[in-house]
Amino acid sequence: MKIVIPNDYQDMVDQLPCYSLIRHHDVTRYREPARDLDQLVERLADADVVVSIRERVEFSRALLERLPKLKLLALVGRNSQVLDVKAATALGIPVATGLSNSPVAPAELTLALIVAARRNIALEAERMRRGDWPCTLSHRLRGSTLGIFGLGHIGALVAEGGKGLGMKVLVWGQKNSLEKATAAGYEAAKSKADLFERSDVLSLSVRLRPETRGIVGPDDLARMKPTALIVNVARAELFAPGALVEALKKGRPGYAAVDVYDEEPVVNGDHPLLKMPNVLCTPHLGWAEWDNFELYFRECFEQIVAFEKGQPLRLANPDVKRRQ
């Protein structure tokens, strides 16, 4: 089979142990994103199977309609916010999904960003590399308030880490989050406004859904302290369009640490957050570590093996009538 893997940013999928499951096929990997839809179609046109690495490619109807040879779209992960499943079903393209959604790697990165941003680690390390000597004062974590917006699997691990650092944990979210907070001995905020007003560090751990898109707006951010840090390793779309940049310009909050962006990848430094000295940016590293990749890609490649052998698949569109 002809298998195409677009947007292997790290250029390392073939180094995973699970790659042995598909190595005998004709596999083509691309590291750099296609410049436009036409080039993307050119890359994928002859593929029997396309591996979708999370949300790095938007599989719209416009794209899928131009891939008449595609027999399977195999997802790395359980779902994709940028895949038109209805279009895939109408076109007879099965969408195979993963099982896992591990919270460990993104929670670890969230904690790393909190420590790095509050203690000016990236800023001072770069200054020292240039030959300068440190010239900033940072913020202590112990005794400060860690706000958690959404105490799900990731938020729970971040809260646990914050507590270990001596931070006071304050939680807001849906009823389930508030109940979990009380059970864990954390304080439940009185309201979303209370969370934003009192947090010294605020971590967004909300899952992106239609009802949570833009859930953090200018009024929320304006409530934050000028010394506060907001951290987003979840989804950029949780912010109302342009709200974070404008809030940082106004000084509330005073700092941000961000791993996700409205349009990815961000190349050539072309993003307003990268031009702000009070913002620590990382290139969507939340899930990018060896154990996580092996877990997610193995599940994806096992689905390709099952497809090759004519075995049942784990499908996002089980009612699809497959094209021949």
Cα 27–chain centre separation: 26
Contact present, 166 and 143 (Cβ < 8 Å):
yes
Catalytic residue among 246, 264, 289, 308: 264
Q: What are phi and psi of 276, to 5 degrees?
A: -110, 120
CB of 4 within 8 A of CB of 49?
yes
Alpha carbon distance 8, 33 (integer Å) = 9
Closest Cα to residue 45, out of 21, 58, 63? Answer: 63
| Bond before 253 cis per omega within 30 degrees | yes
Among residues 235, 252, 271, 298, which one is catalytic?
A: 235
ω into 106 cis (within 30 of 0) = no
Residue 128 DSSP one-character state: H
In this structure, which amino acid lies at residue 149? F
Q: State the amino acid at position 184 in one-letter form.
A: A
Which residue is catalytic, options 252, 284, 299, 302? 284
DSSP states along 286-313: TT-SHHHHHHHHHHHHHHHHHHHTT---
Rounded to whole angstroms, the Cα distance separating 220 from 250 reads 13
Report the relative pairing of strands 168-172 and 187-188 from DSSP bridges: parallel
- 235 catalytically annotated: yes
**Are 273 and 297 within 8 A, CB to CB?**
no
Return phi, psi of residue 148, to 5°: -120, 115
Rounded to an integer, what distance in angstroms lies between the CA atom of residue 317 and that of residue 78? 12
Q: Count other Cβ atoms within 10 Å, centred on residue 167.
A: 21
Please identify every residue annotated as catalytic: 235, 264, 284
